[in-house]
């Protein structure tokens, strides 16, 4: 009897231990490979430049391209990305419950999210801060002049908190009104229901440039309320997956630094100009093994979506309707804040 | 004799001119008010038509004319209507989503016809209709390319959510209403607590729990697809309200009818089936139509839990740089779709009411 029990226990222990041992490198990556798709966050609607839907009912945008890049790195095919539509409020619970593998959704890296919510963030891939836009006829140029005014914000984002904190710091009495949807917020602002419109700087610039009939009637105030590092968020406790995300972003930046594009990646790989590029594109083996991937993952990824600059220009910059300057979101060598770790 | 007949017969119907004179132009003030308001109404109608028709830009290819246009830019609807109607459903497979939509609408229309009002016909119809929808949308069981539920969207998702919630919720509501009348205190008290508990929670919380919290609490194999979890939660919510509507119907029936049924030696089920329920349905009809219409509109709330229903896909439709200024046109289009469905529902309710009055006579 005891013998049977013991062997039964041993079998159970084995059954429990074995999958763990096999998945020791990264449970998430293993799950993605088994499933054959990477589950990324989409949006319940669209968020200009980052998450949109094109005329063919396909997702596009900066965040979507990063998800495709990641999918190519892991599974070798950008079309194996599965985009799950999520609202802002739903994104973190959805990550915890396993509805998505990763959140790449214009998400700021905050202490609360990093600690209390049990998330882990990648390298920042974008910097954008909260700013205020006001009707030009109010004659306002900075936030201190908004005394007694009404500020509208999108509900459930970090902006709400940032504006409240900032206005408290500069001691400006104001009324805050929250809206769930960007379009509502926009309509409320245009209907003069709010004096100022608090949002993410790039979003305001896009809005002012493309959506508002006369851009000169609106001023973006000089105050930089915050500079939020935007990063991919993952579940705590899977360092190898975080490493992979970091190196996915790093590879896109290194590729831009060395002028490797979607068009020339195969040429460059065949004839690498320097050792870093040779390592990046797998011409010198090693980059794959360290992450548990193929040696050509970065090369395939760049062939599929391009380098970081190409992704930026396609979705936000000169090749998009928004024509947003790179500003802080340029490589460090061009006066921006984007910095890749060393590829040794 | 003839004199009496002349007296009894109804007075002659006043002509339109007479009606106008007595109602709208009886005094000088009346005439003035009539003219002023008529002018105002005509002006508003003109403004609306000018925006929607005369000054409007049509056709998907004329998008570059829109910024200069005086009126609406319907190009956005022409270019993006497939996104609004089908959400993220793969572009080449839209015919499947269209057929699925048709099957749901047909199921709902057919189940409104008196011919189908027997338990067997109705359940057969629903099983066939829903199976057709599911097989067309999902595809893999009948050898078509698989489309997972997170890609379902637009009007077809809204219709599916609405139809499943009502069709699941209606029998559940009746069950709850009957259970609440149970003579066993365990059942009636339990059901009362359940109904009051769910009615005291906002729909949004209920759906958020079903979509987001349940998968964290339950083991993997109990999850099911998110869409089914949400439909079940929504149907339960609907059922709790509908149970109260039915309860109102039950309370309108005199105790004497039950006693008469028993005196005739009918079983409890036959009393319910033949005497009580037909009257309950008649009494509960206005409230039920109300619930159904409200539910159709409330399906839009699933946008919060990341479903790409018609309103979410409308948001996505104007959510790109080139179409961003034309959200009003998109909302007008979606509003028209809602109006068509809800107006048909309420007209059907009117028809039912007339039909039942005839039955009562």
Q: Report, as an integer, the average pLDDT of A214-229.
A: 83
Best residue of B87, B145, B316 to probe chain A, by most A CBs closer than 10 Å: B316
The proportion of chain A whose per-residue pLDDT surpasses 70, expressed as a percent, equals 92
Tens-digit pLDDT profile for residues A65-74: 999 999 999 9
Residue B5 has a pLDDT of: 57
**Cβ proximity of B233 and B204 under 8 Å:** no
Q: Report, as an integer, the average pLDDT of B21-35.
A: 87
- To the nearest whole Å, the CA of B306 is away from the closest chain A CA by 4
CB atoms within 10 A of CB A275: 12
Which helix (H) or strand (E) segment is A194 a member of? none
* Residue with the two structure tokens 């009912």: A57
Is pLDDT above 70 for A7?
A: no
The proportion of chain B whose per-residue pLDDT surpasses 70, expressed as a percent, equals 96
| Distance, CA of A199 to CA of B111 (rounded, Å) | 49
The proportion of chain B whose per-residue pLDDT surpasses 90, expressed as a percent, equals 30
- To the nearest whole Å, the CA of A19 is away from the closest chain B CA by 16
Is pLDDT above 70 for B205?
A: yes
Residue A20 has a pLDDT of: 39
Q: Which residues of B touch A57 (CB under 8 A)?
A: 82-83, 86-91
Confidence grade of residue A78 (pLDDT, cut at 50, 70, 90): very high
Is pLDDT above 70 for B4?
A: no
B59: left (phi over 0), alpha (psi -120 to 50) or beta: left
Name which of A82, A98, A207 is nearest B215 (Cβ-Cβ).
A98
Query: Which range, A267-281, B52-66, B105-119, B144-158, has the best average confidence (pLDDT)?
Result: A267-281
Confidence grade of residue A252 (pLDDT, cut at 50, 70, 90): very high
Q: Range with the lowest mean pLDDT among A169-178, A234-243, B93-102, B218-227? A: B218-227
Compare A11 and B282 and report the one with higher pLDDT.
B282
Q: Report, as an integer, the average pLDDT of B112-133.
A: 85
Best residue of A54, A57, A317, A319 to probe chain B, by most B CBs closer than 10 Å: A57
Using a 10 angstrom Cβ sphere, with 0-12 exposed, 13-18 middle and 19 or more buried, the burial of residue B5 is exposed
Using a 10 angstrom Cβ sphere, with 0-12 exposed, 13-18 middle and 19 or more buried, the burial of residue B295 is buried
Q: What is the largest CA-CA distance in chain A?
A: 88
Closest chain A residue to B330, measured at CA: A183
Tens-digit pLDDT profile for residues A131-175: 899 998 888 888 888 888 899 998 877 788 889 899 999 898 889
* Residue with the two structure tokens 């009117």: B350
Q: Does A45 touch chain B (CB under 8 A)?
A: yes
Tens-digit pLDDT profile for residues A308-338: 999 999 998 888 887 778 888 999 999 889 9
Q: Report, as an integer, the average pLDDT of A237-260.
A: 94
Closest chain A residue to B326, measured at CA: A211
Identify the CA nearest to B49 among candidates B332, B317, B339, B343: B332
Is pLDDT above 70 for B6?
A: no
Residue A223 has a pLDDT of: 82
Which helix (H) or strand (E) segment is A152 a member of? strand A149-154
Residue A15 has a pLDDT of: 44
Residue B319 has a pLDDT of: 81
Is pLDDT above 80 for B297?
A: yes
Tens-digit pLDDT profile for residues B229-246: 999 999 999 999 999 999
Domain coordinates in residue numbering, chain A: 27-127+229-334, 130-226
Beta bridge pairs of residue A133: A197, A220
Q: For chains A and B, what is the number of CB pairs under 8 angstroms? A: 108
For the domain made up of B74-360, the CATH class stated in words is mainly alpha
B250-254: long-range contacts (C-beta < 8 A, 24 or more apart)?
B250/B177, B250/B181, B250/B276, B250/B280, B252/B279, B252/B280, B252/B283, B253/B279, B253/B280, B253/B283
Residue A16 has a pLDDT of: 43
Domain coordinates in residue numbering, chain B: 15-48, 74-360
Name which of B86, B211, B319 is nearest A52 (Cβ-Cβ).
B319
Q: Report, as an integer, the average pLDDT of A30-55.
A: 89
Best residue of B93, B321, B322 to probe chain A, by most A CBs closer than 10 Å: B321
Is pLDDT above 80 for B360?
A: no
For the domain made up of A27-127+229-334, the CATH class stated in words is alpha beta
Is pLDDT above 90 for A298?
A: yes
Q: Range with the lowest mean pLDDT among A22-31, A255-264, A273-282, B325-334? A: A22-31
- To the nearest whole Å, the CA of B148 is away from the closest chain A CA by 10
Residue B337 has a pLDDT of: 93
Confidence grade of residue B167 (pLDDT, cut at 50, 70, 90): confident
A211-216: long-range contacts (C-beta < 8 A, 24 or more apart)?
A211/A186, A211/B324, A211/B325, A213/B325, A216/A136
Residue A14 has a pLDDT of: 42
**Cβ proximity of A83 and A41 under 8 Å:** yes
Residue B359 has a pLDDT of: 60
- To the nearest whole Å, the CA of B352 is away from the closest chain A CA by 38
Q: Which residues of A touch B82 (CB under 8 A)?
A: 55, 57
Is pLDDT above 90 for B70?
A: no
Intrachain domains A27-127+229-334 and A130-226 with the same fold: yes
Residue A1 has a pLDDT of: 42
Q: Mark out the alpha helices in chain B (DSSP H runs).
A: 2-8, 16-24, 28-49, 75-86, 94-112, 119-138, 154-180, 185-199, 203-208, 214-217, 226-251, 255-263, 268-270, 277-298, 310-317, 327-360
| Domain A130-226 annotated CATH 1.10.1670.10 | no
Q: Report, as an integer, the average pLDDT of A102-131.
A: 91
Is pLDDT above 80 for A266?
A: yes
HSE value, Cβ hemisphere, 13 Å, CA-based, for A222: 6
| Distance, CA of B12 to CA of A37 (rounded, Å) | 77
| Distance, CA of B352 to CA of B350 (rounded, Å) | 5
Confidence grade of residue B3 (pLDDT, cut at 50, 70, 90): low
DSSP A148: T
| Distance, CA of B101 to CA of B49 (rounded, Å) | 31
Q: Which residues of A touch B213 (CB under 8 A)?
A: 93, 97
Q: Report, as an integer, the average pLDDT of B278-294.
A: 88
**SS3 of A234, please?**
strand
């Amino acid at each position: 009897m005891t013998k049977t029990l013991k062997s039964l226990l041993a079998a159970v222990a084995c059954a429990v231990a074995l999958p763990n041992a096999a998945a020791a490198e990264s449970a998430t990556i293993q799950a993605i490979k088994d499933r054959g798709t990477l589950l990324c966050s989409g949006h319940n609607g669209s968020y200009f430049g980052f998450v949109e839907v094109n005329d063919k009912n396909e997702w596009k945008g900066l965040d979507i391209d990063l998800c495709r890049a990641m999918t190519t790195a892991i599974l070798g095919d950008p079309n194996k990305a599965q985009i799950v539509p999520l609202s802002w409020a739903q994104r973190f619970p959805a990550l915890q419950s396993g509805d998505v593998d990763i959140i790449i959704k214009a998400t700021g890296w905050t202490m609360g999210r990093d600690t209390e919510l049990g998330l882990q963030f990648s390298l920042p891939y974008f910097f954008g801060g909260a700013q205020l836009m006001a009707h030009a006829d109010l004659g306002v140029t900075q936030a201190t002049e908004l005394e007694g005014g009404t500020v509208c914000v999108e509900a459930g984002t970090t902006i709400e908190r940032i504006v409240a904190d900032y206005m408290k710091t500069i001691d400006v009495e104001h009324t805050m009104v929250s809206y769930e949807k960007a379009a509502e917020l926009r309509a409320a602002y245009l209907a003069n229901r709010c004096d100022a419109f608090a949002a993410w700087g790039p979003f305001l610039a896009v809005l002012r440039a493309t959506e508002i009939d006369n851009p000169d009637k609106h001023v973006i105030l000089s105050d930089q309320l915050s500079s939020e590092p935007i990063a991919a968020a993952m579940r705590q406790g899977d360092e190898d997956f975080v490493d992979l995300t970091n190196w996915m972003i790093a590879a896109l930046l290194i590729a831009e630094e060395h002028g490797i594009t979607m068009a020339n990646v195969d040429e460059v790989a065949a004839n690498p100009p320097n050792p870093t590029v040779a390592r990046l594109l797998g011409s010198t083996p090693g980059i794959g093994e360290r992450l548990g991937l193929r040696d050509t993952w970065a090369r395939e990824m760049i062939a599929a979506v391009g380098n970081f600059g190409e992704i930026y220009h396609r979705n936000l910059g000169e090749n998009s309707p928004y024509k947003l300057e790179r500003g802080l979101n340029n490589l460090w060598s061009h006066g921006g804040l984007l910095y890749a770790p060393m590829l040794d | 004799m003839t004199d009496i007949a002349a007296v009894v017969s109804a007075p002659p119907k006043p002509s339109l001119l007479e009606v106008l004179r007595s109602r709208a132009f009886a005094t000088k003030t009346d005439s003035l008010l009539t003219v002023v308001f008529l002018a105002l109404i005509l002006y508003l109608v003109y403004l609306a038509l000018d925006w929607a028709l005369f000054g409007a830009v049509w056709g998907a290819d004329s998008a570059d004319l829109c910024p200069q246009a005086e009126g609406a830019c319907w190009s956005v609807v022409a270019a993006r209507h497939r996104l609004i109607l089908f959400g993220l459903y793969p572009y080449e497979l839209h015919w499947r989503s269209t057929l699925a939509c048709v099957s749901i609408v047909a199921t709902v229309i057919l189940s409104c016809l008196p011919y189908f009002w027997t338990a067997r016909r109705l359940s057969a119809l629903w099983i066939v209709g829903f199976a057709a929808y599911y097989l067309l949308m999902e595809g893999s069981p009948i050898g078509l390319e698989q489309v997972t539920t997170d890609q379902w969207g637009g009007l077809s998702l809204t219709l599916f959510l609405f139809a499943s919630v009502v069709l699941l919720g209606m029998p559940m509501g009746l069950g709850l209403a009957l259970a609440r009348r149970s003579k066993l205190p365990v059942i009636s008290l339990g059901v009362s607590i359940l109904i009051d508990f769910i009615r005291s929670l906002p729909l949004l919380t209920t759906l958020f729990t079903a979509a987001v919290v349940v998968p964290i609490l339950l083991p993997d194999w109990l999850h099911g697809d998110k869409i089914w979890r949400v439909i079940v939660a929504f149907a339960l919510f609907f059922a709790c309200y509908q149970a109260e509507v039915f309860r109102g119907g039950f309370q309108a029936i005199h105790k004497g009818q039950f006693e008469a049924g028993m005196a005739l030696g009918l079983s409890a089920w036959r009393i319910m089936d033949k005497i009580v329920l037909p009257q309950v349905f008649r009494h509960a009809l206005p409230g039920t139509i109300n619930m159904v219409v409200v539910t159709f509109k409330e399906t839009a709330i699933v946008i919060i839990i990341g479903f790409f229903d018609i309103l979410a896909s409308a948001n996505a439709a104007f959510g790109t740089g080139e179409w961003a200024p034309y959200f009003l046109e998109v909302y007008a289009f979606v509003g028209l779709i809602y109006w068509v469905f809800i107006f048909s529902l309420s007209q059907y309710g009117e028809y039912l009411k007339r039909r039942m009055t005839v039955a009562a006579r």
